[in-house]
Structure 1
Amino acid sequence: MRAVIRRNKQLVCDEIDELVPGEGQVLVRTLACGICGSDLHALHHMEHMIETSRRAGGGALNFDPSADTVFGHEFCAEILDHGPGAAKTLKAGTRVVSVPATLTADGVELLGYSNRLPGGFAERMLLTEAMVLPVPNGLPTEAAALTEPFAVGAHAVAKARLDPNSVAVVIGCGPVGLAVIAMLKARGFGPVIAADYSPRRRAAAEKLGADVIIDPARESPHGRWEQLGVPMAGAAQRMARMMGVQFGRPVVFECVGAPGVLQGLIEAAPAGAQIVVAGVCMESDRIEPAVAITKEIELTFIFGYSPEEFAATLDDLAEGRIDVSGLVTGKVGLDGVADAFVALGDPEAHVKILVEPSR
């Protein structure tokens, strides 16, 4: 079968071995698979990703970066066949999504980051039957394929210590920032301030429900805190509370992942703010703890999501609590994946590109 393979830090379309479902597995046909920002980084810096994973003590990315790898972990697929001992609860032809991890006799394979099993940039995949979720309510395939990235937003919001009166600022409106905005609004939080230099991304943030849209080139997103009732200084906050003035906990979501951003937020955020770090900075960075200590800033780093958050995100999409129509700005077949990686380097070119292997 055909697949797009990372080989020698290049993407090549080639033939790989056919798959046979093992015990408890299902063979699926890939219908659509999103290109993630981590895929863009992994193409040229997989070794660095594996090293940081090792240093973090998780060992999640434990494979040979010099060997062939088929990316793709944001997918919607169709069941073709069942392996031995399968319950066959979901019949052939059922559209499904899944957390991108497959149980094998040798352990867990993370789809998209495995030498043994291909991810969604292949015509077919092997999934664990017990982990697949049927796509409900006639949810379109391209929307179902966004379950995985939007689950990251669900996890970020779950980790935020928001109260009913909280004001949230989302810095960076790429796929992660958009997922955070969508989940904040789906959970009833607001006002939500969204900031990005890209007009296209700002428009997407507005479509997903952000209450205030800011171009940082023209205005600091932190200039709105006072207007929305959140005093900036700790002394002013204490005085407000003494006078019976109530205001919600300020929460900032860092969704950029570039050096210097975190320190800038520590300096600009209100005293007592929680900064939820969802952007993955793959370089060494530097912060000044004394500033954060003086302001009593809380830093919360998030990664991934739980199976429950994944399932809840699928439900949010299917029930219309999150409207992702229009976020997919491009679709390519396997032959167009390499060019799509280049195109995604320009934030004005695309918001999200899906790979459709049958295209």
Structure 2
Amino acid sequence: MNPSVVVHGVGDLRVEDRPAPEPAAHEALVAIAYGGVCGSDLHYVSHGAAGESVLRAPMVLGHEVVGVVERAAADGSGPAAGTPVAVHPAGTLDPHAPHPPGRPNLSPAGTYLGSAARVPHTDGAFTGRFAVAAEKLRVVPEGLPLRTAAVAEPAAVAWHAVARAGDVTGRRVLVVGCGPIGLLVVAVLRRAGAGEVVVTDLHASAVERALALGADRGIVATDGEAIAAVRADVGFESSGSPRGFASAVAGLGPAATLVLVGLLPPGDVAVPMARAITAELDIRGSFRFVDEMGEVLGALADGSLRVDGVVTHEFAVVDAVEAFAVAADATASGKVLLRW
């Protein structure tokens, strides 16, 4: 059996038994243990697209996965059989494609597991046995449970975003959106020595999760006055909504830095740019990550990155449809894991 989570179209998610792959010489065969349901996975099921990536054929979902090497790469590269690993989901169609130095995440030739950005689509790793280039495997440190390591990929997204803000030591920070990425931004900020961390979300339950993780103060997103009074030095927009963008701009003080982590809808978005201009805000994008997964795994292992409470639910892969329904309800869940 090789149970795989496949989206066929809007509202059409299935668990199928697909043939186990035969790895190439440079690939390892990984027995997947856990996979985290990401917002992009949810968008493919609910809208048939994630941003500008439109689903045109059935696709295996999933890019937040950990497991154990079942068969090492035949060419001798990568970790040995029996090694617990996390999978780096990024790849490239052309390693020589031009991109800013040290920033392959911005390459126009980039690929990502479980993405419909290209045709044919790039299948993901929500499957029992997964063949992957050995160079994409990151060894999970001894003593770190795979269930905890399962958040390494989204935590790397948060790690990258916090790095994009520069030094946050002692600074007042506003985090807009307390979904899984927002929660992990809070966790990384605490490790990075941020001063006061203020969070806001439409849902009180999400704010409570952020407070339990280490945020100092929470504001319900409908309280515009309270958000405007924060006057943060640094902001992170992780809701991926125009309203969240507007809240982030409103909640920052003059000369503050705003990092956009949440992926806004494609096309034109109305935002309060006049305020951004007159306050001389420094607005920066943050897209996925480069190779921060190794640092994240180390920080999870040594306990300096606390992620208690980020994972709220775990489902067997056969219950993937239910898992996706729970993950789509922001009032009920944080990060939802599938278990193989």
CA–CA distance in 1 between the matches of 2:72 and 2:148? 25
Matching residue of 1:86? 76
Deviates more, 1:33-42 or 1:284-293: 284-293
CA–CA distance in 2 between the matches of 1:266 and 1:108? 30
Q: Structure 1 7/82 Cα, relative in aligned 2: closer, same or farther at 3 Å?
A: same
Q: Map 1:1-359 to 2 at 5 A.
A: 1-9=2-10, 10-47=12-49, 49-50=51-52, 65-87=55-77, 90-101=79-90, 110-113=112-115, 118-217=123-222, 220-225=226-231, 250-283=233-266, 284-307=268-291, 309-357=292-340
Q: Which amino acid aligns with 1:285?
A: V
1:105 CA drift (Å): 11
On the 8 A contact 2:207/2:219 being kept in 1, the answer is yes
On the 8 A contact 1:27/1:124 being kept in 2, the answer is yes
Q: Unpaired segments of 5 or more residues in structure 1?
A: 52-63, 231-249
Deviates more, 1:180-189 or 1:64-73: 64-73
RMSD: 2.5
Identity %: 30
Deviates more, 1:98-107 or 1:12-21: 98-107
What secondary structure sits across from 2:295 in the alignment? helix
Name which one, 1 or 2, has greater alpha-carbon Rg.
Answer: 1
Q: Deviations over 1:218-245 (max 9, x none)?
A: 56233244xxxx7xxxxxxxxxxxxxxx
Q: Structure 1 28/324 Cα, relative in aligned 2: closer, same or farther at 3 Å?
A: same
Q: Which amino acid aligns with 1:22?
A: A
1:109 CA drift (Å): 5.5
Q: Deviations over 1:257-294 (max 9, x none)?
A: 11233234334421212111111112431124333221
Q: Which amino acid aligns with 1:21?
A: P
On the 8 A contact 1:334/1:356 being kept in 2, the answer is yes
With normalisation by structure 2, the TM-score equals 0.86
CA–CA distance in 1 between the matches of 2:28 and 2:195? 41
CA–CA distance in 1 between the matches of 2:228 and 2:110? 43
Q: Unpaired segments of 5 or more residues in structure 2?
A: 96-108
What secondary structure sits across from 2:313 in the alignment? strand
Q: Which amino acid aligns with 2:44?
A: A
With normalisation by structure 1, the TM-score equals 0.81
Deviates more, 1:64-73 or 1:130-139: 64-73
Q: Deviations over 1:54-81 (max 9, x none)?
A: xxxxxxxxxx832221111111111011
Deviates more, 1:296-305 or 1:108-117: 108-117
Q: Which structure shows the higher strand fraction?
A: 2
CA–CA distance in 2 between the matches of 1:335 and 1:105? 36
CA–CA distance in 2 between the matches of 1:213 and 1:48? 29
CA–CA distance in 1 between the matches of 2:208 and 2:256? 27
Q: Deviations over 1:326-349 (max 9, x none)?
A: 322211122211122222222221
Q: Which amino acid aligns with 1:66?
A: R
1:201 CA drift (Å): 1.7
